[in-house]
Amino acid sequence: MLTYLATNTFSSTHKAFTIGAKQIVDVNKNEVMRAARATNSNTVEVLSMTIPTRIGGFNQDYYPPFAANEPSNTAEDWTSGVDVEPKTMQLSLAPKAKMGK
């Protein structure tokens, strides 16, 4: 399901653009994507895509499960043709003490 969020226009050109991993978004602010762009003036701009909400706070519906950072299959099983469902992970509201780790 795709939902239109916003259009970003830039006043200057850029050298590079990248979208960050899902794990770096700030779920407390309903951020669904974070990106960075390197401009031609040798600066890096961080872009934040958030979902406006009247309710406020964390909403699990904004964060569907996504591919985990660990393999779901061993190399030996993969080369022998064993099919395994990929491991997924779910973002949740983490305590502030764990946010920086």
Count CB atoms within 10 A of the CB of residue 25. 20
Mean pLDDT to the nearest integer, 40-63: 81
- Whether residue 53 contacts residue 35, with contact meaning beta carbons closer than 8 Å, is answered with no
pLDDT band at 21 (very low <50, low <70, confident <90, very high): confident
Q: What is the pLDDT of residues 57-67, one digit of tens each?
A: 777 777 888 88
To the nearest whole number, what is the mean pLDDT of the chain? 80
- Residue 1 reports pLDDT greater than 70: no
pLDDT at 79: 93
- Whether residue 36 contacts residue 54, with contact meaning beta carbons closer than 8 Å, is answered with no
Strands (E), the chain: 14-19, 31-39, 44-50, 66-67, 88-89
- Whether residue 36 contacts residue 46, with contact meaning beta carbons closer than 8 Å, is answered with yes
pLDDT band at 97 (very low <50, low <70, confident <90, very high): very low
